[in-house]
Structure 1
Amino acid sequence: MMFWDGNMGAWGYILMVVSFILFWGAIIAAIVVFARSMSVNNRRDGGGAHSTGSAEQLLAERFARGEIDETEYSARLAALRRARGA
């Protein structure tokens, strides 16, 4: 025998709304995490197939961002060009 008249009360409605928000938030977060992990994997996979020309481009980008100074840029660029010539 049920002693419930079908009225959830205020706490029932609050719990329903909170669980609805948490459920869809978890679904959306899982999709975002999956999409980001796929894009990171694509960037990593593509990095191994590049030639020395793109290595020089990457070095130039690091220099432009200020991650390395001019002397380090010149030294690494010379090392890349020596390795390509050998």
Structure 2
Amino acid sequence: MLTTLATATVAAHAGPWAAGFGWVFFLIPLFWLLVVGLIIFGVSRGRRRYWANGSPEGYGPPWARTATAEQTLGQRFANGDIDETEYRARLEVLRANRPTA
């Protein structure tokens, strides 16, 4: 009699996932969409932050930085390529013709 009762109990038991996942099944794709979205967001944020430090305008790679005309003129004066009179004259021209931003 106990054998019959034990066999009937095992046959009636459906296991740990008796009713399946139920509504939890719909949360699994949402979880993975959230994970992929966070990865994409993180990568795009990191790239934007990296490239933003590249140039004075905030765009472009770091090696593409260009010196302004005044910096180039100052460097030439520091190297001794031009004298003070020429430096001041050219600097005045540069500042007079500065484009408005």
TM-score band w.r.t. shorter chain: 0.3 to 0.5
Normalising by structure 1, we get a TM-score of 0.46
Greater share of helix residues, 1 or 2?
1
Normalising by structure 2, we get a TM-score of 0.41
Structure with greater Cα Rg: 2
Of structures 1 and 2, the one with the larger relative CO (CA 8 A, separation 6+) is 1
